[in-house]
Structure 1
């Protein structure tokens, strides 16, 4: 549970090894740069069980290291508790929305506002495509989208 006056954001994708840990790490760095880390609870999660317990995809880690961002995450699946404790759940695509809707239907009093992370993109790229089946440049694209979206989300939310 977030402390009083704290905000919380959960980034969500299918496996929690590509897009959502990149979004989480980008947002964590932006919040640290603003010196407001103590005001945010930030975490990523998966809609599936495919990758639970695994670290982020090595291509994403290489991309993030190249951009000066560290990733410390082990994949986990979203829980009922997440719907009750996070202010925002930011999903990457429409498939994530279908999966989240199935899960949220089992939760009474969902607190979280479920939104598309791409809805914050000033370049209007609504969907953050899954880079898992792509190449290094696809991970760079995800990173760049996450930077734009997370900056805009942070500006709107405080």
Structure 2
């Protein structure tokens, strides 16, 4: 969970096995490369409970490895505590956003800023589509969108 004096971000998608673990791994690598990892708490989670404890999708792991990124993430569901402990909760699509805003209403005085990760995309692609039923190419597209968005998010929050 977020520690005092640190920035914090939770990336969220439906199952926490495709988009959000890619975003988490990409952002962690960017923060590491920028020398600011120690200033961040970074995690990812799901709006659903379908994949709790699962590793990311094999196609997502293949995509990350292709780009020199490793992850040991295990899927987890977003908790009420996340709304209190994270500064930013960045999700992938309108359905995630609706689910998160609904869950946030049950948390008194939550502090998290809930946004679409795509709102940081310089190419203005607001939605990061779920690649689960797609091809390896769809995972590459998610990766490219996450790189653009995470870069802009990190630059906005040094």
Shorter chain as normaliser: what TM range?
Answer: over 0.9
Q: Does 1:10 align with 2:27?
A: no
Q: Does 1:25 align with 2:25?
A: yes
**TM-score normalised per structure 1:** 0.98
**TM-superposed deviation, 1:101:** 1.7
Q: In 2, Cα distance between the equivalents of 1:143 and 1:56?
A: 13
Map 1:112-151 onto structure 2 (within 5 A): 112-151=112-151
Q: In 1, Cα distance between the equivalents of 2:112 and 2:147?
A: 22
Q: Counterpart of 2:56? A: 56
Following TM superposition, the consecutive aligned residue runs of length 4 or more in structure 1 with deviations greater than 3 angstroms are: none
Map 1:65-80 onto structure 2 (within 5 A): 65-80=65-80
Q: In 2, Cα distance between the equivalents of 1:114 and 1:98?
A: 10
Please state whether the residue corresponding to 2:126 is helix, strand or coil. coil
Please state whether the residue corresponding to 2:60 is helix, strand or coil. helix
Q: In 1, Cα distance between the equivalents of 2:4 and 2:83?
A: 18
**TM-superposed deviation, 1:4:** 2.8
**TM-superposed deviation, 1:128:** 0.2
Q: Which runs of 5+ in 1 are unaligned?
A: none
Q: What's the CA shift string for 1:77-116, capped at 9, x where partnerless?
A: 0000000000000010000011112211110011100011
RMSD: 0.7
Q: In 1, Cα distance between the equivalents of 2:98 and 2:121?
A: 21
**TM-superposed deviation, 1:5:** 2.0
Q: In 1, Cα distance between the equivalents of 2:101 and 2:50?
A: 19
